[in-house]
Amino acid sequence: MSLIDVRHLTKTFPGPNGTRVQAVSDVSFSMEEGEVLGVVGESGCGKSTLGHSIVRLIEPDAGEVAFGGLDLAKARKAELKHSRRDIQIIFQDPFGSLNPRHKVGHVIAEPLIVHRIGTRPERLARVKELLDLVGLPAEAVDRYPHEFSGGQRQRIAIARALALNPKLIVADESVSALDVSIQSQILNLIAELREKLGLSIIFISHDLSVIRHVSDRIAVMYLGRLVEIGPAAQIMTDPRHPYTQALLAAVPKIGGDRHAARPIVTGEPPDPANPPQGCAFHGRCPKVMEICRRTRPELGAGNGAPAGSETACHLYTT
Ligand code: SF4
């Protein structure tokens, strides 16, 4: 049985002149326990809105999020409170996501306080255990977030996210604000914690080179839709969708070259308030065909798809 089953999740926002901006359109996927799913795409593709809709930080317009016997997309507030123990989110900005007026001990203990778990000494013991888990000293409890570096603050945010022993973590661009060397330390920590705690993670990033380090599978989003999903090894070596191929081509290899001799995608994504007919990528796609301008391709295994791989592209359906 899947840990989480997202079906036809859709979210729109009000756009200019009474239009609706399709931030997330009809997105479906499942995850197994202990799995890490990377979600990648350019800025504005809807990946963060997808993550926030799954945890109900924003209200989805339609669709289902089956988790722990509940549909989180429609659950009442009291039901959600319980499920929030099992799903936590880590945000991009370690500077903005920690309350600067509270000491680190209180910041990490806050989920325990909200859910009325443990006595004060028990919570302190748990906080120290969590600090150790994320590689910070126990003395950090009495210091304020501003006394720590960006990477250390993200460790504090991770410790807080782990306080309630969640089953699933949504990590939303959680290393994007950090220097490259610090990014790799945090990625290593996330990989360690996943092994140690059996965590499932939805790891959202605009950067395929970051996603590949932690993901079992990778889902690629373009203009609010999934355009490709498959095993990370396949996506990183043999992507099928032209957009994924272009993202991969932009990833630098060790030594400075690009990852593959494929064209880097140029131009801007279309206006989500006025999406084009047919395939949303057709205006930028080097392999565009006539059908692409008229008919939107559906996500599917298609011709010759590797095991577990699905692509929304007419190259594999015609
Ligand atoms: Fe390119 Fe057509 Fe495939 Fe879209 S459907 S990615 S335009 S080939």
**Per-residue pLDDT tens for 36-51?**
999 999 988 999 999 9
Rounded distance between C-alpha atoms, residue 69 and residue 78, angstroms: 15
Question: What percent of the chain is predicted at pLDDT more than 90?
Answer: 73
Q: Which of 226, 289, 317 has most ligand 1 atoms within 8 Å of its beta carbon, as the pocket-test mutant?
A: 289
Q: Measured in angstroms, how far is the CA atom of residue 314 from the centroid of ligand 1?
A: 6
Closest Cα to atom 5 of ligand 1: 313
pLDDT at 146: 92
CATH code of the domain made up of 4-86+166-316: 3.40.50.300
Report which ligand 1 atom has the smallest distance to the Cα of 292.
2
Report which ligand 1 atom has the smallest distance to the Cα of 289.
2
Residue 69 has pLDDT above 90, yes or no: no
Confidence of residue 105 (pLDDT cuts 50, 70, 90): very high
Rounded distance between C-alpha atoms, residue 244 and residue 221, angstroms: 9
Global model pTM greater than 0.85: yes
pLDDT at 165: 95
Give the domain ranges of the chain: 4-86+166-316
Please give the structure tokens belonging to residue 10.
């859709």
Report which ligand 1 atom has the smallest distance to the Cα of 314.
5
Residue 156 has pLDDT above 80, yes or no: yes
Please write the tens of the pLDDT for every residue from 187-242: 999 999 999 999 999 999 999 989 988 999 999 999 999 999 999 999 999 999 99
Q: Measured in angstroms, how far is the CA atom of residue 222 from the centroid of ligand 1?
A: 12
Q: What's the per-residue H, E or C state across 139-197? A: HHHHCCHHHCCHHHHHHHHHHHHHCCCCCEEEEECCCCCCCHHHHHHHHHHHHHHHHHH
Residue 260 has pLDDT above 60, yes or no: no
Long-range contacts of 76-80 (CB under 8 A, 24+ apart): 80/56
Report which ligand 1 atom has the smallest distance to the Cα of 293.
7
Residue 267 has pLDDT above 90, yes or no: no
Residues with C-beta less than 6 Å from any ligand 1 atom: 241-242, 279, 281-282, 285, 287-289, 292, 297, 313-315
Report which ligand 1 atom has the smallest distance to the Cα of 285.
1
Residue 115 has pLDDT above 60, yes or no: yes
Q: Measured in angstroms, how far is the CA atom of residue 242 from the centroid of ligand 1?
A: 7
Q: Measured in angstroms, how far is the CA atom of residue 227 from the centroid of ligand 1?
A: 10
Residue 318 has pLDDT above 80, yes or no: no
Q: CB atoms < 10 A from the CB of 262, how many?
A: 17
pLDDT at 98: 83
Q: Which of 265, 313, 317 has most ligand 1 atoms within 8 Å of its beta carbon, as the pocket-test mutant?
A: 313
Q: Measured in angstroms, how far is the CA atom of residue 60 from the centroid of ligand 1?
A: 28
163 neighbors 112 (Cβ within 8 angstroms)? yes
pLDDT at 262: 58
Q: Measured in angstroms, how far is the CA atom of residue 46 from the centroid of ligand 1?
A: 19
Q: Measured in angstroms, how far is the CA atom of residue 191 from the centroid of ligand 1?
A: 34
At residue 91, φ and ψ (nearest 5 deg) are -90, 170
